[in-house]
Structure 1
Amino acid sequence: MEAVASQPVSVAVDGGDMTFQFYKGGVMTGSCGTDLDHGIAAIGYGKTSDGTKYWLLKNSWGTTWGENGYLRMEKDIPDKKGMCGLAMEPSYPTA
């Protein structure tokens, strides 16, 4: 996922998880499944004023979902699969 520093990365997530489906805003934390069924773009990362690290993700469900179509998802969690399976199948061009 280091590639996000220089380009968008296509990632798969458990988009059927209720935590993901009904995300409204803020940094998404807590538990989420890993049944990968939805593709989104990881476009960046950041840190909140309280120090919570997050991935900045672009969804395809329109601007009424999440934060104008974007999602901030907790980064650097103990589970190597990433929240909602985010780190399981990243894909980006290498040439």
Structure 2
Amino acid sequence: MEDHLRPEPATNNWIHRAACAEPDRDPEIWFPEGSSAKAKGNGREAKRICFDECPVRLKCLKHACRVRAAVGIFGGVDDTKRNDHDFDYDSLKRVGRK
């Protein structure tokens, strides 16, 4: 088989199991913009889904930290918190919500 026809390695199969990947989810809630009540509500809902429903939350968070995702909620943690110099991924793994 020619190289350009080979499938990509399945390194991120976890993405398809994420709660945010479900077809009935609005992807916009993971990228709330501004400080309106709607944006804040979307952010809270996205975090709730991550913590309460997502089977791959920690993989998602680790991915966001590794690639330095600039915006959005990944693994229940928003970009402001991830970019905080005091952010401690290991403590989040042990404790849960932070």
Q: Same fold (TM over 0.5)?
A: no
Which structure's relative contact order is higher, taking Cα pairs within 8 Å and 6+ residues apart?
Answer: 1
Greater fraction of residues in strand = 1
More helix by share: 2
* Structure with greater Cα Rg: 2
